[in-house]
Structure 1
């Protein structure tokens, strides 16, 4: 939503907004001149937005009983979902859309970086913030648009991309989809909307140009050699082999994201040689395997991982990058329904860490589900040290953690705590 707000300001629109709580992203929008209110009452709305001519854009996170939302519905304003507006903004462009249960934001950000380095005319809407520029929207024209195709609430059906990729299909959002089969069907229907080229991870049951980091495909990598600053690899394409290439991020899953972005950009007409060169300078995305502290006695990693598959990818990356070090994970479960649906899988993957620190479930849009709690998850984690703490207790606890590696994971408001935790840990190391 915030990337669309940035774009609309760039186009000269007057933009106003509501959010439940302040954040760094909100502060950056306010710096652009966007008025944001945090009170959900109609009385809190600025006079300028009370008109029936005001276009209202909302996300599924807004409850249907929200006072401001209902005010506009009853007044007869045009009210559209964020995904519908995003679809409208891509009309008349060469749209590149990134879909998949995992890796959408990182792949979209890498694709954006590749286009930025190419000097092509493009606008990109990204679900995360670049570590260097601190933005989630970049624009230098509108020949191409680069977007995330989100499966949540079937939002990606609003897109009609020219080129699309599917990075992965894994059971998730089962509060929206009845089961994994319904989710897979949704991806097949999305694939049918792609106008030109569909790019898919080789193992997926979809037809298209294939890519892989683990087996032969139309585009694949081998001779993967991890180092402390990233990974070296050989790239195989239908027409060439490019040896000893470098991508500056950790993790095999991130290399897969980079390969997906590279194939998309190449199919859009960008030079393969330039693309591989520019993978080495990707600035990274906040909260995606972001290294916040890298010192002799302490490494602090921050990641958005909120699904068992994503947590497993983080663990495997840390195991490969820091094989001799003990690893502690701080995990804030996201959604009661997701915790219920993947309780056993969460317990299994968290048990891989040497120490587990759990926070209470972040509910987001949901009400509690009887019997589903962080305590219930804690009771299922076996074979490792595990404890349940409050966010208020977390800072003091982490300063006394013996494990060198600390990974903070979750899609909830734990992300807002990370900067403070980093400063507390660094101060503790100094003293």
Structure 2
């Protein structure tokens, strides 16, 4: 690969990000010396360290490992999520290092292979993970750069087998619209799952976001295929197909719930893939499975291999993840947009009709909470009891008047409450919910294990 010539060391600023970590793993397994910085330790950074990647958690030039502080032979990869005043990033920039955005590196890697790119404001992580598993399990030489930890592989990165011609390798990429990152990709097959307003702190308005998605679609290979969720207004190449839950060129049929799982068929222009029993539940995941089926068929996977792949797909960490099943059910989900929350809660209700659902939600970003407060309030109201945590700021500074209390006041529900972490655990212990879901993209996942411990049958009188 042209990018790799002349480099022995690669340093990642923001290595703990899900997308950054996948690329870091690629360089590591391909013989480069890899190190990185992130703000706080996480299970993901711990996994990288166990694999032999050096990570520092101090934003200081002096903390950079020996061998990575010289411009010669060192490539620096950074994520736009890192604050611009980061001391480490400033040092690399001011010292004349070769700096590349994560998206630029991903684009260069993907260009070597036959790429399937999955884009969308929501649904892309599960859809890309499903697609990668179907392709990989079919026997096709496959690489994947994903936005979540797959339960089948316990990784967000799949390494391909060596190939004489890299175009024989299918690369499945989660195409991220944040900071227009997906515009570095020129895929042979593409999927767009959704174009709802999001990342308005980057785009300013919904029309700019839509324009960026159109630019992405315009980069799809003219001889390739494009799969668009039915109802989205994007112009694709000649081989453009619509898909959906119950309509489109590709769609699901005979959907039913059996033993708290969704069972269905997928109708395609080339026939019907019957009796899919999805371990990743939810109406939205049925629709994601339809998109993954379409993308996999486009690179030569058979109907039988699609069914086998979907039936053996175990889901993605924090995407409708069953933490506990039994007398008390606990489900964890990464949803952080009103449409995602509504889809998630509707599916939980469908799986457990008539049973009360307790939702714990951590809003993500002040700007997103401000921009979609009414939508969040409406979607959260689908739950029977709502516990609201403080906003997770991520890369942002507080905005006056925007807080969890503002959002709570908008939720048209009587059973709602602002809670701190310890207070939440005490409430769960005092009155264990029959069905409890944790929702959010911040660090709410740190509460999953403590809640599980409380809800274990052996701990409930």
Superposed, 1:1-400 pairs within 5 Å as: 1-53=20-72, 54-141=74-161, 142=166, 143-195=169-221, 196-206=224-234, 207=236, 208-215=240-247, 217-296=248-327, 298-400=328-430
Paired with 2:31 and 2:428, the residues of 1 have a C-alpha distance of 46
Paired with 1:248 and 1:428, the residues of 2 have a C-alpha distance of 26
1:410 partnered with 2:440: yes
- What is the Cα-based RMSD across aligned positions, in Å? 1.4
Paired with 2:286 and 2:185, the residues of 1 have a C-alpha distance of 26
Q: Secondary structure at the match of 1:357?
A: strand
1:152 deviates by 0.6
CA deviation string 1:365-411 (max 9, x = no partner): 11111100001111111223111111233222222235311110000
Runs of 5+ unmatched residues, structure 1: none
Q: Which moved more, 1:176-185 or 1:227-236?
A: 227-236
Q: Secondary structure at the match of 2:131?
A: helix
1:332 deviates by 0.3
Q: TM-score, with normalisation over the residues of structure 1?
A: 0.96
CA deviation string 1:60-88 (max 9, x = no partner): 11111000000001110001111111101
How many pairs were matched up? 429
* Contact 1:107 1:257 (8 Å CA) reproduced: yes
Q: TM-score, with normalisation over the residues of structure 2?
A: 0.90
Q: Secondary structure at the match of 1:236?
A: strand
Paired with 1:242 and 1:218, the residues of 2 have a C-alpha distance of 13
Q: Which moved more, 1:360-369 or 1:227-236?
A: 227-236
1:249 deviates by 2.1
Paired with 2:197 and 2:232, the residues of 1 have a C-alpha distance of 13
Paired with 1:404 and 1:243, the residues of 2 have a C-alpha distance of 33
Runs of 5+ unmatched residues, structure 2: 1-19
Q: Secondary structure at the match of 2:226?
A: strand
Q: Secondary structure at the match of 2:116?
A: strand
Paired with 1:8 and 1:423, the residues of 2 have a C-alpha distance of 38
For 2:10, the equivalent position in structure 1 comes to none
Q: Secondary structure at the match of 1:235?
A: strand
* Contact 1:289 1:301 (8 Å CA) reproduced: yes
CA deviation string 1:340-385 (max 9, x = no partner): 0011111111122111101100000111111000011111112231
* Contact 1:329 1:353 (8 Å CA) reproduced: yes
Q: Secondary structure at the match of 1:334?
A: coil
CA deviation string 1:225-251 (max 9, x = no partner): 122342222322113234433323211
* Contact 1:302 1:407 (8 Å CA) reproduced: yes
Cα 1:132–1:243 shift into 2, 3 Å = closer
1:428 deviates by 6.4
